[in-house]
Amino acid sequence: MKDITTMSALELGKKIKAKELSVADAVKAQLEIIKQRDPDYHCYITVLEEDAYAQAAEVQSRIDAGELNDSPLAGVPMAVKDNISTKGVKTTCASKILYNFEPTYDATVIEKLKKAGAIIIGKTNMDEFAMGSTTETSHFGETKNPWDTSRVPGGSSGGSAAAVAAEEAFYALGSDTGGSIRQPASYCGVTGIKPTYGTVSRYGLIAYASSLDQIGTIGRNVSDCAAVLEVISGHDEKDSTSVDEKSYQYTQALVDDVKGMRIGIPKDYLGAGLDEEVKKAILKAAEVFKSKGAIVEEFELHSVDFAVPSYYVIACAEASSNLSRFDGVKYGYRTPEFDGLQDVYKNTRTEGFGNEVKHRMMIGAFVLSSGYYDAFYNKALKVRAIINQGFQKAFEKYDILLGPTAPETAPSLGESLSDPLKMYLSDIYTVSVNLAGLPAVSMPCGRDSKGLPIGLQLIGTHFGEKDIIRAAYSYEQSGAYERPTTIAANQGKEA
């Protein structure tokens, strides 16, 4: 039998159901890999070793009793981004201001995963309050890309993507505000799905930008991501933005057939700023779809030109409001030095928040201030509407859109933080998807001359998850890109 931690999540789930492995075996193997590799990669903020074995015993008894026969992921260890609330387990948002915060409840997605028999192995590192594209702004230290530890894993869900890539988790949850699942999935050579806004409950997700945030999945392949998404999707009365769709049976879309599918490639995504090796890999992937019977053509999508400035105005404005609750009074860090309530607020927030968070909160307060609201925030909302209209016009002609996930492969550690504009532009192909509330998947489609993964992005119309899952699965089945068996044995090598 091959090593347990090299299996896909669904493969492990089948072996546990068939009694070829126990849940405790899976947990033990996973914890051993974390102990070996996480000192190098720092994927986790919290590892739940003792609790994982307790979960394993409970889930094993439920499996033995036949309670989880319909759950393909029962007994499979997984990781959770540290901005998703877990009852009695630290949920820090990678910030000093929440360094000791333990929620009194589980997020809805956690409740659903526990019901399905998931084993939560730990909470993953991230950019502080999800503000960043490299997982370098974490109060607890940077995460490193398992393919090359001199490079970033992307962000803000970099810990989740790196954990899956390094076989420190079979799958993971992330949150995506402007590409925070898809971009690190691209950098780390794994698959990530950001669903339609409202498809997955945000109850228990500590908010960055409420109208953009969406919980999604990161896995080693499309099938794992689809299976997890099927578990966590659904209407939630505790989330007023949750949508009551009738069908979330995403695994039914795992069909190797794109014949007749209409696929559009925005010419705007292939222009200046896109690395030539990335462009070559994306166009090569497009040829794979053509060879399988899809109709592929390029078209103009001009409205995305203004996506990045619009996104940062809206996201920062919402962040300045959402983060006002962290003031040293109710929970988390409180400054030891203060003279009166105003000092508590000022000193706690000064000492508790990192620089990137402060920058974005200040931008948000500025664009919402009197005299600037119409000039910036209101104008950004109008641009957002235009972007949405542009996508809807495209979907009148195409079933899905295809393009790169990021303009280049993973940059070196420190490179993006020294050039904030470059960091913001790394999300140029992803933020418009969040502004329009669309579903999208990032999956590996090759590696560059440095051996770093390249990500392919497929975008669907609202509630078009099944289309992008079918296309992604079909591409995966073509064998155009094969994920190396173990990342530890294949660092820096050509696929």
Q: Which of 461, 472, 412 is nearest to 182 (CA)?
A: 472
pLDDT of residue 371: 87
Say how far apart CA 265 and CA 178 lie, in whole Å: 20
pLDDT at 488 over 70: no
User: Which of the following is catalytic: 15, 81, 96, 112?
Assistant: 81
Asked whether the predicted pLDDT for residue 94 surpasses 70, the reply is yes
Give a yes or no: residue 456 inside a domain: no
Lowest mean pLDDT among 6-20, 268-282, 418-432: 418-432
pLDDT number for residue 487: 62
pLDDT of residue 245: 76
Q: Which position among 85, 138, 156, 303 bears the catalytic label?
A: 156
Q: Which residue has the tokens 């999508």?
A: 301
Domain count, the chain: 1
Residue 81 annotated in active site: yes
Inside any domain, residue 103: yes
Rounded CA gap, 328 and 29, in Å?
Answer: 40
What is the rounded end-to-end Cα distance, in angstroms, of the chain?
A: 23
pLDDT at 419: 74
Query: Measured between alpha carbons, how far is 478 from 492 in angstroms, rounded to an integer?
Result: 23
Region 58-70: mean pLDDT is 97
For residues 272 and 236, which has the higher predicted lDDT (pLDDT)?
236
- Weakest mean pLDDT among 35-49, 390-404, 479-493: 479-493
Q: Tell me, rounded to whole angstroms, the distance of Cα 80 from its chain centroid.
A: 10
What share of the chain has pLDDT > 90, as a percent? 89
pLDDT of residue 492 exceeding 60 = no
pLDDT in tens, 233-260: 999 999 999 998 777 899 999 999 999 9
What value does the mean pLDDT take over residues 28-42? 97
pLDDT tens string 128-137:
999 999 999 9
Helix locations, 75-138, DSSP H? 108-115
Mean of pLDDT over the chain: 94
Is residue 158 within 8 Å of 134, Cβ to Cβ? yes
Cα separation, 210 vs 318, in Å, equals 7
Which residues fall within 8 angstroms of residue 396, CB to CB, at 6 or more apart? none
CA distance 150 to 81: 22
Least confident of 17-26, 154-163, 324-333: 324-333
- CATH code: domain of residue 191: 3.90.1300.10
In a domain, 325, yes or no: no
Of 133, 180, 320, 442, the catalytic one is 180
Average pLDDT over residues 29-47: 98
Residue 418 and residue 2: Cα distance in Å, rounded?
43
Residue 493: pLDDT band by 50, 70, 90 thresholds? very low
The residue segments making up the domain with residue 209 are 4-262+461-490
Nearest CA to 126 out of 153, 105, 101, 157 is that of 157
Q: What pLDDT does 6 receive? A: 94
- The answer to the question of residue 177 being in a domain is yes
On the 0-12 / 13-18 / 19+ scale of CB atoms within 10 A, 396 is exposed
Average pLDDT over residues 289-305: 92
Position 489 scores a pLDDT of 46
> Is there a catalytic annotation at residue 180?
yes
In a domain, 31, yes or no: yes
pLDDT at 2: 57
- Answer whether residue 14 is part of any domain: yes
485 confidence band (pLDDT: 50, 70, 90): low
pLDDT for 127 beyond 50: yes
Triad 107, 464, 300: Cα angle to 5°: 120
Candidates 157, 215, 227, 212; CA nearest to 186 is 157
Q: Is the pLDDT reported for residue 373 higher than 60?
A: yes
Residue 379 falls inside a structural domain: no
pLDDT tens-digit readout, 164-196: 999 999 999 999 999 999 999 999 999 999 999
Q: Indicate whether 222 belongs to any domain.
A: yes
Cβ atoms of 225 and 200 within 8 Å: the answer is no
pLDDT at 436 over 60: yes
